[in-house]
Amino acid sequence: MSALLFLTRKRLKNRCKELVHHPGQLLLVLFGIAIVVMIIVVGPRNETDPAFALYRPRQELNAIIFLLYAAVFVLTAKGGFVNGASMFSMADVNLLFTAPAKSRTLLFFGLFSQMGRSLLMGLMILYQFGWAHQQYGITVPELLMVLLGYAITVFLSQMLAMLIYSFTAADDRRCRIVKAVFWGVILAFAAAAAQKLLAGEGELLTKAVALAGEPWLRFFPVAGFVQFGVVGAMDGAWLTALAMAGLFVLCIALYLVAVSFLNDDFYEDVLKATEVSFSAVTARKEGKAQELAPRNVKVGKTGLRGGAGASAFYYKHLLENRRSRFFAMDLGSLIIAVITVAYAVFFKSYETAFAMSAYMMMINIGTGRWAKELLLPYAYLVPEPPFKKLVFMMLEQFPALVVQSLVTFIPFYFIFDEVDIPLAAMLCAARICFGWLFIGVNLLIQRIFGTGGNRSVIVIVYFLFCMLLSVPAVVAAVLPQALFAQSITVSFLAMSGVNLLLGTGLVFICRNVLNDAQLNNR
């Protein structure tokens, strides 16, 4: 144990030294801390202002916390059916697994290391203090409790993903059974919640908020009891918080029992999951294309079934999406759509819900298959104009944007009386054009940095570019109402046009990325 404590202490010390020797990373850390401090200092509102005398009901915040934890649990735990989740790095595997240490000691070391990483993953929650305090009066200690609950949810979900992977990796029959049980439990809770929401009279918002306090919802895997404990701690019910802590310790104990006694091949499973994760990271650093596909691929139809010249890239990407079981409305996009609709219902404003949808899409948009195509030689060898090839390669993301926008904003027509068919269509069009703009920003970042470079710096630059390039669209949306008293439909139309022009302009500016294969990815 002393050797592991020494290793942990040395890691922290070396991390601090690394920040000193890399000014870019140090500035990034200081910039993040400064933003958090600014939000906490500036965020609290003036309690003496009569316009802000009342906060929204805390039950709404409790429902939002449960939805956050439930989404994190589902998205993390389902990874166990693909490539698992590892608590160790390849350095840990090389150093710890060969050391004369007990397996349980190494497991505890991996668990606590993963807990620290889970806390770091949830630091973005601190940036939500401004609106959370404005709307619900949440304090800094309470926000830290929410962050701790998030870390516990991620931690336990990753443990479950590792167990699922260990139990199903070598047996397709087990995988089908466990997958049926996993999704069956999730759908059972979803069906019960839908039945409660649709039954009886009353506003949907009122019933949804009341649903978050239902006792049976505490039995939702991981997210249920974690949210119950966090809310109890925020309300001063420390016995409830202690009960959650007890269940957390019980989950760790059950995990250790399952790993130590029910699975003799634990080290092999950890090594395999770690190797998969390490290979993905290494491939990104070296600028190599890597495809994440199911274990068993059903080929089905063969051939592109269309396309000639530059358009062949579009049909090739559609075929690859089908074989990798990628659908336009994946689980992450569906959760974003549900959150957007719930946000609109909670705050009774489709404008702020649209802004929330655009913000989440900026995080979830991804780079698509065109980024992998730039690492292969075929895009450069096809005798077509570079701009034409680039556009067809990027069109693969367009059908997904259309489907996701329709699923997100068609419900607004039924929720808000002021949203008619033209306005709903403009909301969909504006979201699609925002997606096209963010895709253009991704291309610009790819053109500047390639696939190498510091990932944290690249993410910061990406968000800055997205926010700066979104300003013209916001201005274009405000001007028709401010100067000409036009309807909100015209504002969204102007926003769509500006984003479409900006996104296309970014693609045109970066068209020479296909002139030659520039080896700037290492």
Q: Picking from 69-73, 193-197, 249-253, 303-307, which range would have the lowest pLDDT averaged per residue?
A: 303-307
CA dist 207 and 496 (Å) reads 35
Model pLDDT, residue 282: 59
Q: For residues 74 and 331, is the Cβ–Cβ distance under 8 A?
A: yes
For residue 28, how many other CB atoms are within 10 A of its CB? 17
**Does the pLDDT of residue 460 top 70, yes or no?**
yes
pTM, rounded to two decimals: 0.69
Model pLDDT, residue 466: 86
**Does the pLDDT of residue 152 top 50, yes or no?**
yes
Q: Which residue has tokens 């592991």?
A: 4
Model pLDDT, residue 255: 77
Element (H, E) at 330: none
**Does the pLDDT of residue 222 top 50, yes or no?**
yes
Model pLDDT, residue 502: 92
Confidence of residue 501 (pLDDT cuts 50, 70, 90): very high
**Does the pLDDT of residue 452 top 70, yes or no?**
no
Model pLDDT, residue 519: 43
Q: Picking from 188-202, 224-238, 315-329, 344-358, which range would have the lowest pLDDT averaged per residue?
A: 315-329
Q: Which residue has tokens 């993903």?
A: 161
CA dist 232 and 125 (Å) reads 19
For residue 228, how many other CB atoms are within 10 A of its CB? 25
- Reference 63, options 253, 233, 246, 193; nearest CA is 193
**Does the pLDDT of residue 511 top 70, yes or no?**
yes
Percent of the chain scoring above 70 in pLDDT: 70
Confidence of residue 53 (pLDDT cuts 50, 70, 90): very low
Model pLDDT, residue 285: 52
Long-range pairs of 130-139 with CB within 8 A, sequence gap ≥ 24: 130/39, 130/42, 130/43, 132/61, 133/43, 133/44, 133/45, 134/43, 134/45, 134/52, 135/55, 135/56, 135/61, 136/55, 136/56, 136/58, 136/60, 136/61, 137/55, 138/61
Q: Which amino acid is at 144?
A: L
Model pLDDT, residue 212: 77
Q: For residues 282 and 362, is the Cβ–Cβ distance under 8 A?
A: no
Q: What is the mean pLDDT of the chain?
A: 76
Between the ranges 87-101, 155-169, 211-225, 330-344, where is the mean pLDDT highest? 211-225
Percent of the chain scoring above 90 in pLDDT: 3
For residues 11-18, give the mean pLDDT.
77
CA dist 89 and 274 (Å) reads 6
Q: For residues 39 and 127, is the Cβ–Cβ distance under 8 A?
A: yes
For residues 153-175, give the mean pLDDT.
78
Model pLDDT, residue 32: 66
For residues 396-414, give the mean pLDDT.
86
Give the residue with greater pLDDT, 65 vs 48: 65
- Reference 506, options 481, 483, 474, 472; nearest CA is 472
Model pLDDT, residue 302: 67
Between the ranges 96-105, 175-184, 297-306, where is the mean pLDDT highest? 175-184
CA dist 145 and 60 (Å) reads 17
Model pLDDT, residue 170: 63
First-to-last CA distance in the chain?
38
CA dist 129 and 147 (Å) reads 11
Show the tokens assigned to 242: 């202690």
**Does the pLDDT of residue 100 top 80, yes or no?**
no
Tell me the C-alpha to C-alpha distance, in Å, between residue 52 and each of 22, 44, 139. 44, 11, 16
For residue 453, how many other CB atoms are within 10 A of its CB? 16
For residues 372-376, give the mean pLDDT.
78
